Homo-oligomer: A and B are copies of this chain.
């Protein structure tokens, strides 16, 4: 890495300040208010005993996610999707990504016939909302599973979580690969990539897009390395948040 400094003084391989307020919601079975710098996402996990009809009787559970943004989470106001009467393509795409990321670390047989819905609502956006959402959603999910065990909907010894999962954005700006882009960086990036990585360091999802010039294999490798390292740091922060025993 070179010694380029960024607008907010970070090194190219440095995350923004990350905070995780576990148990933020009084009602949800698991919850976390996560911030990646100015990006704040409220993640709540709703546990229901039972599964959707199409899964009934298969002895497996279901985990799904919905992502949304408050109208004034961004710099200028966006119309509500409820008022437009339709969910936009970007919203759908991110909801699906979060759901896949979480299911990659869940053993649905061990979960049993239970459903967990994770809502990720962006209260304030400053780049990287989908990666903050995944990282916070994992914490909410872990608490909802703990709740399910406490309430005996899940057997005490079931290993529902087979790994942890976190995500971070990486990108190339002025030819330089950088970690965890803030909004002002994101709009300037030539290449933008989101990586979703398990606690063991394996890839769940790699989504790289050339916003400007196409990229080559060497650049791709540099981005992946930055992303894997960033997810390693996030894993530690998730573990620290979950280590506090009486959060819920």
Contacts and interface: CB of A to CB of B under 8 A. Distances in A.
Contacts of A104: 210, 214
A46 interface: yes
A220 interface: yes
Interface stretch (A4-12, A55-63, A88-96): A88-96
Interface string A59-103: 000000010101111111100111111111111110110001000
Contacts of A46: 71-72, 76-77
B83 A87 contact: yes
A208 B220 CA distance: 13
Interface stretch (A21-29, A148-156, A240-248): A21-29
Given A87-B82, A215-B203, A72 B92 contact: no
Interface stretch (A116-124, A130-138, A173-181): A116-124
Interface string A17-44: 0000000011110010000001000101
Contacts of A92: 88-89, 92-93
A71 B82 contact: no
Given A85-B85, A85-B86, A119 B68 contact: no
Contacts of A95: 89
A126 B26 CA distance: 10
A89 B85 CA distance: 14
Contacts of A82: 68, 80-82, 84, 86-87, 91
Given A66-B71, A119-B71, A208 B216 contact: no
A202 interface: yes
19 contacts: A27-B74, A27-B75, A31-B72, A44-B70, A44-B71, A77-B117, A80-B82, A81-B82, A83-B87, A86-B86, A89-B92, A202-B210, A203-B208, A203-B210, A204-B209, A206-B206, A206-B220, A207-B208, A220-B224
The 9 A-B residue pairs with the shortest CB-CB distance, nearest first, are A89-B92, A202-B214, A81-B82, A44-B72, A46-B77, A82-B82, A206-B208, A93-B93, A28-B72
Interface of A: 25-28, 31, 38, 42, 44, 46, 48, 66, 68, 70-77, 80-93, 95-96, 100, 104, 117, 119, 121, 123-124, 126, 163, 193, 198, 200, 202-210, 213-217, 220, 224
